[in-house]
Amino acid sequence: MHDFLRNIQMIVKLYVHWYHSILRMDVEATFNHTKMRGCVKSMKQTILNIIMYSGEARSLAVEAIQSAKKGDFDKAKELLDEADEQIASGLVEQLYFIQKEASGEMLDFSFLLVHAQDHLMNAITFKELAEEFVEVYKRK
């Protein structure tokens, strides 16, 4: 039962972190800027962007752990900040689907979209864990 509660606490923490990340972004301005430029993104392109941003965020988090392991905590922080930016970009891309569905448009089910969402959530989780690893290495 204790592990279950810890998992729930971690999920809540991740959700709160994600929510605060969204609040820090000017999502509406980003979305409107994309519309003003005349960019009409396809569903497939948006999905691929989510996967790309998520993969980059995860890679940066891995690099941050490796930097912390070597004692380079400034570099680790820089890499985690970059990972945050990549995750934020992925969340902006994800917003495309949220806005479509919220406006009443039904989206076709897509395994590729599920795959992209999986990548994004894994990147968020991995980045959170990387922050914890950096803190552990700092205490050594």
Cα–Cα distance measured from residue 127 to residue 100, given in angstroms and rounded to the nearest whole number: 28
For 55, half-sphere exposure in the C-beta direction (CA atoms, 13 angstrom radius) is 8
Lowest-pLDDT range of 1-5, 70-74, 78-82: 1-5
Catalytic residues: 115
Residues 88-115 pLDDT 10s: 999 999 998 888 888 888 888 789 999 9
pTM (predicted TM-score): 0.70
Segments forming the whole domain that contains residue 12 = 2-139
Number of domains present in the structure of the chain = 1
* CA dihedral sign, ordered 3, 7, 8, 13: positive
Residues 29-57 pLDDT 10s: 444 444 434 445 688 999 999 999 999 99
Q: Name the token pair of 33.
A: 């800027």
Q: Any idea what the CATH number is for the domain that residue 85 is in? A: 1.20.58.80
Burial class (CB in 10 A: 0-12, 13-18, 19+), 16: exposed
Q: pLDDT band at residue 20, thresholds of 50, 70 and 90?
A: low
Cα–Cα distance measured from residue 118 to residue 115, given in angstroms and rounded to the nearest whole number: 5
Q: Name the token pair of 37.
A: 């430029």
